[in-house]
Amino acid sequence: MRHIYLIARREYLSYVATIGFWVSMAMIPVFLLLGMALPALMDRASGVRNFTIIDHDGRYERAIEQSFMDDHADHILEFIDSLILVEGETEELLAAKKAAEENKSETEIRSILGTQRSMALAAKRESFNKVPPPANTIEALRPFLLEEKMIDTVRGPEPLHAVAFIYLGNDGIVQIEYWSANISERRLQGKIRRAVRDQMQKDEFSRSGIELALVEKISDLKPTITSLSPEKAADNAKVTAEDRLPFIISIIFAFILWSVVFSVANMLLTSVIEEKSNKILDSLLSAAPLRSILMGKLLGVAMVSFTLLAGWVLAGLVSMLAAGSVIDTGGAGKIASIISAAGDPWLIIPFFGYFIFGYLMFGSIFLALGSLCETLQEAQTLMTPMIFLMMVPMFALGFAMQDPESHILAVLSWIPLFTPYIMLARLPTDPPMIEIIGTTLVMVATTAIVLLGAGKVFQAGAMHQAGSDYFKNMFSKLLPKKQKKN
Amino acid sequence: MKNSVLSLLNVSKRFGGKRAVSNLDLQVEPHSITGFLGPNGAGKSTSIRMGLGILTPDSGEVLLFGKRPNYQALDRVGFLPEERGLYRKMSVIAVIVHFARLKGMKAAAAKSRALELLEQFGLKDAAYKKVRELSKGMAQKVQIISAIAHKPEFVILDEPFSGLDPVNQQNLEDIIRELAAGGTTILFSTHVMEHAERLCDRIVLLSRGRKIFDGNVEQALATIPNSVIIETDTADNPAKIFENLSSSVSSLPSKSSDSYRWSVGLNNGVDVQDILRSSVTNNLALRGFEPAKRHLHEVFVQLVAKDEQAAKGVQ
């Protein structure tokens, strides 16, 4: 035990006592936060883009204005839906949604949402702002478009992003001349084009004697859909955001499990390569039994992974709080419902169980491969098949996001190297008990075999100086020898 | 044998089809300095690794402190492997303490012992430096300290002098003498005979995995004939004059243009005085007469060459 403890301790400290470890751990919430906040931050960074319309007819300008107002109403509705997803269908939110659907004023909707949510809504600014034209010809407007002159807005002087001239062409078709110095930004152009197109179609319906109200009525026809679960009581069968949360959390857990196992298995590989290339193994072998070295390393790096997990959990919480305040809603309800779903023992206990076996399988394989190599370059040859193998559950998890009850996932669950990740993702779908027990038994048995095999390879690598050609030699021994020609 | 610190009893080891060690018997007696000699690839490191239980012999038996190597016994052993290395990112003191603790020392005792040894080896200022910041000689010293910090009764040093400059080689010789004076049993392998000649109570010579000599330095030197170097005025080979006294007379490079040097190998029982007497009797124009000092180097070269010739003869 002394040897295992000391080797594990050294292994643990060799990672945890470095600044790099903590910097990289700290980077995770930063990246997580950036990932979540990037679209909003980019939107804010670019500011509101002012544009103007010069429409000789006037009707298209009004259509464009209406289109922007409709978009804004849609944004409010989407915002309320996102709140419902994380906070559940509270009375307040349902009332706000009803108000939004009935095209009630923004002020009214905000009063229903409350101060904190309204502040988050206010943060969701529109990207574009229509302003009166500062001039009527392109010659006069050009200095504004080139930012040589500024327009006056309620926020102060700002540049003019674009101008659209709308007129009727000689062929009777409406023409839009879209002027902007920013040729890569095409959203505004698309919006204007869609609004004008809709107005043109309405005009044509009118000219053709088709009642516009009828057209709109037909266009608005859509079924209402309610998602219901037979597993819930009939009077309360409606599927809510809370019901969906375990599926999302289980897939996140499976991704975390995969990331941790992959990271720490790589740590084991580099650690043993370092010891082999630095010729430390002989000193170690004269001081501790081989199995203690193996177990010590596995335990030490497992502790590193627990530290990583603890850090990530903390980072996740910090990110959620920070992202909540930066982008959307904030709100204790959101955090509480996520924590409650993540803290479900039905997920947490299997998570640690699967972590142990997933880690032991991949960790011992990587450790054994490392013992055969002197350099990382040498290891790459042996690692490539393992990396491909490890990528399979990653792709499968992507698939699980679409359909966690797929037969392909059920089949992949029986492959022991994938079991920890796939089964974890499948758990909220309540797979048959026979599958849970069966895949677990196969996984445990495989782990034992892998550990034994890895021990043998490690012994060959560490004690007998076997090299990266170990497997080649082993297979060539198994193949029938060629008869020598006389 | 019962009291031997290490006993290799008729051990053999093969790697693939290649024989590394063949029927080797080796005893290391308490409080002795034993030199384990042999050319590269003779099987020294393999034998040592078997002695420590790192490798299992294909046949034969290994006893360490009278028992099969186990980790209680290994706690009493300090080992400096041939292929040396340290954790480069760790501090010097952390490395020494780590290895001492692996050998059963308590953390506090290991730390104070490490500091004491670092001071003794002139490395006190490097205690908290990273290993990667050390010179090769310093790192070698740290490795030696790591091997002896837990106060082992038996120290095995595999090629301890390789890679060291002459000053550090001399320092290491002093350390080995100091350890031996403190009662530590030492086994060290080398193919540099000068160190063995100066340090060893006993030498064991290996060639092609087999033991070809086992005895003390005097016994080893006795395996090669005495010789005398003479300097003459004439270029005539004096072999005829020493016909009954000498086994061989060979020319040596001369020191001046008008003199000639010869190495005269003496037959068993012949004394250098007999050569001098014969030279005078036969009016040999002697300009110089110098009894040659025998060295382990010649013993090594001759015994290994003889063994290799015998092997070729068998083939």
CA dihedral A429, A82, A97, A187 (to 10 degrees): -130
Distance from CA of B86 to the nearest CA of A (A): 6
- Chain B residues whose beta carbon lies within 8 Å of the beta carbon of residue A280: 85-87
pLDDT at A486: 46
- Residues A322-336, mean pLDDT to the nearest whole number: 53
Q: List the structure tokens of B266.
A: 């003496």
Q: Which of A52, A55, A51 is nearest to A167 (CA)?
A: A55
Res A252: pLDDT:
81
State how far the Cα of B56 lies from the Cα of B68, in Å rounded to an integer: 11
pLDDT for A155: 80
d(CA B198, CA B296): 10
Q: Can you tell me the distance from the alpha carbon of B151 to that of B142, in angstroms, rounded to the nearest whole number?
A: 15
What's chain A's length in residues?
Answer: 486
Distance CA B308, CA A234 (A): 94
Measured between beta carbons, the chain B residues lying within 8 angstroms of A282 are 49, 54, 79, 81-83
Average pLDDT, chain B: 83
Strand locations in chain B (E):
6-15, 18-28, 33-37, 59-64, 77-80, 154-158, 185-190, 202-207, 210-215, 227-232, 246-252, 260-266, 286-292
Residue A329 has a pLDDT of: 47
- Cα–Cα distance between B13 and A304 in angstroms, integer? 40
Paired sense of beta strands B246-252 and B286-292, if any: unpaired
> Is residue A22 assigned to a domain?
no
pLDDT at A127 (0 to 100): 79
Question: Cβ atoms within 10 A of the Cβ of A448, count?
Answer: 13
**Matching residue, tokens 């290490």:** B6
The two tokens of residue A344 are 């479900």
Residue A261, judged by CB atoms within 10 A of its CB (0-12, 13-18, 19+), counts as: buried
* Alpha-carbon gap, residue B74 to B69, rounded angstroms: 7
Residue of chain A whose Cα is closest to the Cα of B83: A279
Mean pLDDT of B200-213: 85
- The closest alpha carbon to A262, from A380, A400, A355, belongs to A355
CB–CB of B58/B23 below 8 Å?
no
Is A7 within the bounds of a domain? no
DSSP A171: T
Mark yes or no for CB contact B52/A286 under 8 Å.
Answer: yes
The pLDDT of residue A51: 92
Phi, psi at B205, each rounded to 5°: -110, 130
Residue B198 has pLDDT above 80, yes or no: yes
Are residues A285 and A199 part of one domain?
A: no
Q: What is the distance in angstroms between the Cα of B79 and the nearest Cα belonging to chain A?
A: 7
Quick one: pLDDT band at residue A29, thresholds 50, 70, 90? low
pLDDT band at A229 (very low <50, low <70, confident <90, very high): confident
Query: How confident is the model over A232-285, as pLDDT tens digits?
Result: 777 777 777 667 777 887 888 888 888 878 877 777 788 778 777 767 777 888
- Residue A216, CA atoms < 13 Å, CB-side half-sphere: 8
**Which domain-ending residue is among A231, A251, A267?**
A231
| Least confident stretch, A29-38, A286-295, B64-73, B229-238 | A29-38
- Look up residue B44 and give its amino acid: K
Does the pLDDT at position B34 exceed 50? yes
Rounded to an integer, the average pLDDT of A292-318 is: 81
Lay out the sheet containing B59-64: strands in order across. B18-28, B6-15, B59-64
Q: How many CB pairs under 8 A join A and B?
A: 67
**Burial degree of A386 (CB within 10 A; 0-12, 13-18, 19+):** middle
With an 8 Å Cβ cutoff, are B54 and A286 in contact? yes
Which residues touch A432 (CB under 8 Å, ≥6 apart)? none
Which residues of chain A lie closer than 8 angstroms to B55, CB-CB? Answer: 463-464
Residues 6+ positions from B157 with CB-CB distance below 8 Å: B80, B144, B147, B176, B186, B187, B188, B189
Domain count, chain A: 2
- Residue that terminates a domain, selected from A176, A206, A231: A231
pTM equals: 0.67
A236 in a structural domain: no
d(CA A478, CA A484): 18
Q: Which of A16, A18, A283, A293 to mutate to test the interface with B (most CBs of B within 10 A)?
A: A283
User: Residues A110-118: contacts with CB within 8 Å, 24+ apart?
Assistant: A113/A80, A113/A83, A116/A329, A116/A330, A116/A331, A117/A83, A117/A329, A117/A331
In a domain, A466, yes or no: yes
The domain made up of B6-221 is a member of CATH 3.30.460.80: no
> How many angstroms separate the CA of residue B293 from the nearest CA in chain A?
39
Do A283 and B90 lie within an 8 Å CB cutoff? no
Whether residue A205 lies inside any domain: the answer is yes
Q: Supply φ then ψ for residue A163, to 5 degrees.
A: -140, 140
Residues on chain B touching A288 (C-beta within 8 angstroms):
71, 102
Closest-CA residue of chain B to A276: B85
Q: How far is A306 from chain B (nearest CA, A)?
A: 23
What confidence score (pLDDT) does residue A330 get?
A: 45
User: Hey, what amino acid is at B203?
Assistant: I
Residue type, B243: E
Q: In what order do the strands lie in the sheet with B227-232?
A: B246-252, B260-266, B227-232, B286-292
In the predicted model, is pLDDT for residue A361 greater than 80? yes
According to the model, what pLDDT value does residue B4 have? 85
CA separation, residue A324 to residues A74, A82, A332 (Å): 21, 12, 10
Q: CA of B165, closest CA in chain A: separation in Å?
A: 21
Domain hosting residue A198, numbered range: 48-231
- Residues in B whose CB is inside 8 Å of some CB of A read 15, 49, 52, 54-55, 71, 74, 77, 79, 81-90, 98-99, 101-104, 143, 146-147
The DSSP 8-state label assigned to residue B105 in this structure reads -
pLDDT at residue number A94: 85
Q: Put the strands of the sheet holding A128-130 in their side by side order.
A: A128-130, A49-55, A160-168, A174-180
Predicted local confidence at residue A326, as pLDDT: 47
Which residue in the set B81, B98, B101 is minimally distant from A279, CB to CB?
B81
**Least confident among A124-133, A241-250, A305-314, A333-342:** A333-342
Q: Which of A14, A279, A287 sits opposite B84 (nearest CB)?
A: A279
Distance CA A60, CA A57 (A): 7
Distance CA B299, CA B82 (A): 24
Locus of tokens 């079991």: A419
Q: Looking at this protein, which amino acid is placed at residue A127? A: S
Chain B's closest residue to A279, CA to CA, is B85
First to last CA, chain A: 59
Residue B49: C-alpha distances to residues A460, B53, B278 (Å): 14, 6, 53
Partners of A129 in the β-ladder: A50
CB contact under 8 A, A287 and B99: yes
**Which one of A231, A260, A280 terminates a domain?**
A231
Q: For residues B222 and B303, is the Cβ–Cβ distance under 8 A?
A: no
Q: What integer pLDDT is reported at residue B257 of this predicted model?
A: 76
- B6-to-A163, B42, B55, B72 alpha-carbon distances in Å: 94, 19, 15, 14
Query: Confidence class of residue A338 from pLDDT cuts 50, 70 and 90?
Result: low
Same domain, A331 and A382: yes
The CATH number assigned to the domain with range B227-293 reads 3.30.70
Q: What is the pLDDT of residue A467?
A: 59
Indicate yes or no: CB of B15 within 8 angstroms of CB of A464. yes
Contact A347, A100 (CB under 8 A): no
Q: How far apart are CA B186 and CA B202, in angstroms?
A: 11
Query: What is B26-54 written as a DSSP string?
Result: EEE-TT-EEEEE--TTSSHHHHHHHHTTS
Element spanning A50, H or E = strand A49-55
Dist. CA A51–CA A153, nearest whole Å: 11
Query: Cβ–Cβ of B88/A287 closer than 8 Å?
Result: no
Q: What is the pLDDT of residues A153-203, one digit of tens each?
A: 888 888 899 999 998 888 778 899 999 988 887 888 999 999 999 888 888
Sequence spans of domains, chain B: 6-221, 227-293
Q: Which two tokens stand for residue A139?
A: 């010659």
pLDDT band at A327 (very low <50, low <70, confident <90, very high): very low
* pLDDT at residue B52 greater than cutoff 60: yes
The answer to whether residue B97 scores a pLDDT higher than 90 is: yes
A287, B54: Cβ pair inside 8 Å? Answer: no
DSSP letters for A224-271: ----B-TTS-GGG-B--HHHHHHHHHHHHHHHHHHHHHHHHHHHHHHH
Whether A283 sits inside 8 A of B54 (CB atoms) is no
- Is residue A32 over pLDDT 70? no
Contact B190, B38 (CB under 8 A): no
Residue listed under structure tokens 């409650």: A340
Q: Are residues A251 and A165 in the same domain?
A: no
